[in-house]
Structure 1
Amino acid sequence: MRRPVALRLSAALATTAVGAAICVALPIPQASAATGSATGFATQNGGTTGGTGGQTVRATTGTAIHTALCTRPSSSTPIIIQVEGTINHGNTSKVSGDSCNTADGVIELKQISNVTIIGVGSGAIFDQLGIHIRDSSNIVIQNVTIRNVKKSGSPTSNGGDAIGMESTVRNVWVDHVTLEASGGEDEGFDGLFDMKDNVQYVTLSYSILRNSGRGGLVGSSESDRSNGFITYHHNLYENIDSRTPLLRGGIAHIYNNHYVNLYESGINSRAGARAKVDNNYFKNSKDVLGTFYTSERGYWQVSGNTFDNVTWSSPGTDNYPAGPNPQSNTTVSIPYSYRLDGANCVPDVVRQTAGANKGLRVSDGNCTPQTPTPGPTSPTPGPTSPTPGPTSPTPGPTSGTNLSIGAGSDGSSKADGTSYGNVRDGSLSTYWSPAGATGSISIKWGSATRVARVVIREPSGTQGSIGSWQLVNHDTGAVLASGSGAGTITFSPTSLTKITFKINSSSGAPRIAEFETYAG
């Protein structure tokens, strides 16, 4: 495939390079620490919370990031790594330890879980250095810039991918990041956001991908169809040849993205892939949706998209463009709740929210960007002096009517011999337990119910098995509270139809005898 991106970018990058220099020289807005909660498919399969509930450390070098991972008690101990400054080959070395598996020249998240990497302070830039996720789960990457990662030339990193995931990866949320290159494959660059060899339950949100030959792929070949359940929303794809994304098998949900200057093709659904494509805005681009460069067809369900100065090629042996009047040829069921901005306002909403150092702003689903409530921004410096995580809620007697009695319940999974209904039967001798060490349990009502307090009770003799958790308004995805251990949890009174208790870590098999809910 020809690589015109270098020529086409010559003028565009002159402007971009000047803009980037200005961004570095001027003060960048202070970023809040781990803000918001995962969206899209990353909310499934038990959810994605990263290092929530774990210790917080500050890192200003790649070696310090590796040190933070390697000095944890175990490879699954939750940790939040706040990054500031420029991370590059000169300050990124391999670190050894029982809780890590790192390498020189790449940020290696390998055979680990429960990690958040978030840019803070004046910003975090990974310069010519990629992030590699392999054989890992429950990872959050937020508010960082990754630029000019090469697979050929010098220096090289991560196979040329800005962010690359491979080999049994589960539950990754990448949010408010900027991923950029300076050309195509001929200039030594590969994909900005790639997944292969069994990667599932991933969300890319509020991010910028630009100035590259390849936006990203799901599946490394026509036979690599073990990947899927990927959500892309509120992202900007700009000055890219193709792969926005390339899908080989699996399911993707692609909504409220802004596509500008896609030179060869855009969303390439092939090899049996199915994509739900809602309320996106495509501008000044070619062949933005279809099956391209193969006879192995893919499928799409389309609604609400805007095609502004989009051109379409004629169908051929290996090209099946969806336009000029795209029609659905499949249906895709989405298991999570979400709110669509109208396509007409997507360019403005994405401009205000997408990318690193935008204050982690998000849309309210009514075309209005919102600034989240900031978290802590000034932890004690140094990866060897973490601050304590959330404390356990205080257990104790309760008063009022337990609203869980007579309500419904469900969950992510249940161990043999346990039941979702056991958490609302008023008995401490019965319980629910997830099929693994983590999972979620919910109480639900047929109509909106006001809740301001929850009590989590463990069966007698099993206290202390519950580790870090989040209490979530299932209707909106908002996190009402977080902490560790069982007991009483209070929060601002909230009207909802379903409330979810997510267990993100545990010592042994966690058990919940009662999930009590109260109005006050």
Structure 2
Amino acid sequence: MRAHGKSKKTYAAALAGAAGCTAVVLAVTGAVGTAGAAEPRARDLARQTLAEHDGWASATTGTTGGAAADADHVYTVTTWAGLKAAFADGGTAPKIVRIKGTLDADGATCADFAADGYDLDQYLADYDPAVWGYDKEVSGAQEDLRAASAAAQAKAIKANVPANTTIIGVGKNPGIVGGSLQINGVDNVIVRGLTLESPLDCFPQWDPTDGDTGNWNSEYDSAVVYNSTHVWLDHNEFTDGDHPDSTLPSYFGRVYQQHDGELDIVKGADYVTASWNVFADHDKTLMIGNSNGAGATDRGKLRVTLHHNLFKNLVERAPRVRFGQVDVYNNSYVGTADYSYSFGIGFESQLYAEKNAFTLPKDIGAGAVLHRWDDYPVTAVGNQVDGRTVDLVAAYNADHADAPLRADAGWKPTLRTRVDPAKSVPKVVARGAGPERLG
């Protein structure tokens, strides 16, 4: 076994000039952090691969991430600049990127991204519905400056994940604050053991045509998977952290929405498994398929498995589905007074929901779990609401006789490993989900 230390290619030197970047190339045995005693290979979580039959990401070639990385392509990073540099180094060769500590992706202030001349007060004055109305989208100088400001922020807080990569948290409280992992146009990615705090969009766009009274629309998911295949997201926590929607101001009678989703799987993405994650304290949480008009890219794709995840204190989209064959089983849902729905049935969706458990406020019934955006069938079997087994489709239809849902999504999942009884799901998930329970 080779001793710890610098590899033939000294990564720290390669990153000279990247402010605050610390990167350590580790021996192939995969010990965590700085030089020290190595763990046996069998205990190296960074080299674990997705098990056979563990959801859609195990299909065809399976998902191995950077498990085959050599010593020159194993990095430990402690800054956002270091993470981006590690992603850029080595092309598509298998790599392991260990995140140590919390990486601050939005250390700059919103003013640092603002284009010269952009002014929120002026933006609000120009596009006040009393002046602009509700019948056309905003345009003009302040909207152009807002878009330029948004582009500057996007460049800073987005990080493009390469193919054949494992990203894993190590040490105490590893995670990312205010960054957006872009899994775009690649194959074979693993993300594990991180707390991902949602980015705050500094420059939301006002759309007066969105709904009857307009809406603020924001960008930036904590992680987005698009046009990518074989992605495994495991034992992470997605949260709004110190900036929940309750802290955001309102303009024009609508929340100045600075959050988008926690995780989106869109635009031709395929073969994705999300397991043992925590999704917390958010509004529009998890979207699978982002447009009814995307059939050319999405039809026959968006095959996603969600199992043993904890969804707590959320409003909606857990998930909302278009097009995909989505298997949702053994997840635990804990609702608050703001709860709207969990499963959104969208255009050409084929959702299969089995043995999930829901704990809802007393004034919210089982009929709220499903929401019909479009008339497509759903399979829902063996699910429990407040400890009772409930036919979710029948419960929804009892509340919505004017626009019922149809049963039977037309397929049955086969890529599963352990399936727990619904009654045990809340305890099983509470004991096992989240980054602190990895390993």
TM-score after normalising by structure 1: 0.55
Mapped to 2, the partners of 1:59 and 1:196 lie a distance apart of 28
Where does residue 315 of structure 1 map in the other structure? 400
1:164 lines up with 2:164 in the alignment: no
Mapped to 2, the partners of 1:90 and 1:183 lie a distance apart of 18
Mapped to 2, the partners of 1:242 and 1:204 lie a distance apart of 18
Find 2:157's aligned residue among 101, 105, 109.
105
Deviations 1:178-210 (A, max 9, x none): 001212874411111112110100011000001
Mapped to 2, the partners of 1:245 and 1:255 lie a distance apart of 12
Q: Assess, with a 3 A threshold, how the Cα gap between structure 1 residues 160 and 212 changes in structure 2: closer, same or farther.
A: same
Deviations 1:130-149 (A, max 9, x none): 21111111010000011132
Residue 32 of structure 1: how far off its partner (Å) = 5.7
Where does residue 100 of structure 2 map in the other structure? 84
Mapped to 2, the partners of 1:35 and 1:277 lie a distance apart of 31
Mapped to 2, the partners of 1:205 and 1:239 lie a distance apart of 18
Q: Assess, with a 3 A threshold, how the Cα gap between structure 1 residues 337 and 257 changes in structure 2: closer, same or farther.
A: closer
Where does residue 149 of structure 2 map in the other structure? none
Where does residue 352 of structure 2 map in the other structure? 276
Mapped to 1, the partners of 2:190 and 2:159 lie a distance apart of 14
Q: Assess, with a 3 A threshold, how the Cα gap between structure 1 residues 197 and 176 changes in structure 2: closer, same or farther.
A: same
Mapped to 2, the partners of 1:346 and 1:218 lie a distance apart of 23
1:221 lines up with 2:299 in the alignment: no
Whether the 8 Å contact between 1:32 and 1:120 is mirrored in structure 2 is: no
Where does residue 48 of structure 1 map in the other structure? 63
Mean Cα deviation higher: 141-150 or 283-292 = 283-292
Where does residue 114 of structure 1 map in the other structure? 164
Where does residue 279 of structure 2 map in the other structure? 209
Mapped to 2, the partners of 1:288 and 1:133 lie a distance apart of 32
TM-score after normalising by structure 2: 0.64
Report the AA paired with residue 383 of structure 2: N
Whether the 8 Å contact between 2:266 and 2:288 is mirrored in structure 1 is: yes
Where does residue 290 of structure 1 map in the other structure? 370
Where does residue 482 of structure 1 map in the other structure? none
Question: What runs of 5+ residues in structure 2 fail to find an aligned partner?
Answer: 1-38, 109-153, 205-217, 247-254
Mapped to 2, the partners of 1:281 and 1:307 lie a distance apart of 6
Find 1:137's aligned residue among 168, 187, 190.
187
Report the AA paired with residue 183 of structure 1: D
SS in 2 for 1:139: strand
Mapped to 1, the partners of 2:166 and 2:259 lie a distance apart of 26
Report the AA paired with residue 360 of structure 2: N
1:299 lines up with 2:377 in the alignment: yes
Whether the 8 Å contact between 1:150 and 1:189 is mirrored in structure 2 is: yes
Residue 106 of structure 1: how far off its partner (Å) = 1.9
Where does residue 179 of structure 1 map in the other structure? 238
SS in 1 for 2:435: coil
Mapped to 1, the partners of 2:258 and 2:435 lie a distance apart of 24
Deviations 1:1-42 (A, max 9, x none): xxxxxxxxxxxxxxxxxxxxxxxxxxxxx9963264322100
* Structure in which a larger fraction of residues adopt strand: 1
Q: Assess, with a 3 A threshold, how the Cα gap between structure 1 residues 90 and 251 changes in structure 2: closer, same or farther.
A: closer
Question: What runs of 5+ residues in structure 1 fail to find an aligned partner?
Answer: 1-29, 93-101, 323-327, 361-371, 373-520
Whether the 8 Å contact between 2:198 and 2:262 is mirrored in structure 1 is: no
Please give the root-mean-square deviation of Cα atoms over the aligned residues, in Å: 2.7
Question: Percent of pairs identical after alignment?
Answer: 23
1:344 lines up with 2:356 in the alignment: no
Whether the 8 Å contact between 1:108 and 1:131 is mirrored in structure 2 is: yes
SS in 2 for 1:188: coil
Find 2:323's aligned residue among 249, 255, 266.
249
Residue 237 of structure 1: how far off its partner (Å) = 0.6
Report the AA paired with residue 144 of structure 1: L
SS in 1 for 2:428: helix
Residue 355 of structure 1: how far off its partner (Å) = 0.9
Find 1:330's aligned residue among 406, 409, 413.
409
Whether the 8 Å contact between 1:196 and 1:224 is mirrored in structure 2 is: no
SS in 1 for 2:172: strand
Residue 291 of structure 1: how far off its partner (Å) = 3.9
Residue 128 of structure 1: how far off its partner (Å) = 1.5
Mapped to 2, the partners of 1:143 and 1:152 lie a distance apart of 27
Q: Assess, with a 3 A threshold, how the Cα gap between structure 1 residues 143 and 131 changes in structure 2: closer, same or farther.
A: same
Find 1:259's aligned residue among 333, 339, 348.
333
Mapped to 2, the partners of 1:338 and 1:276 lie a distance apart of 16
Q: Assess, with a 3 A threshold, how the Cα gap between structure 1 residues 126 and 288 changes in structure 2: closer, same or farther.
A: farther
SS in 2 for 1:34: helix
Mapped to 2, the partners of 1:331 and 1:306 lie a distance apart of 22
Find 1:65's aligned residue among 83, 94, 97.
83
1:33 lines up with 2:45 in the alignment: yes
Where does residue 230 of structure 1 map in the other structure? 304
Report the AA paired with residue 68 of structure 2: G
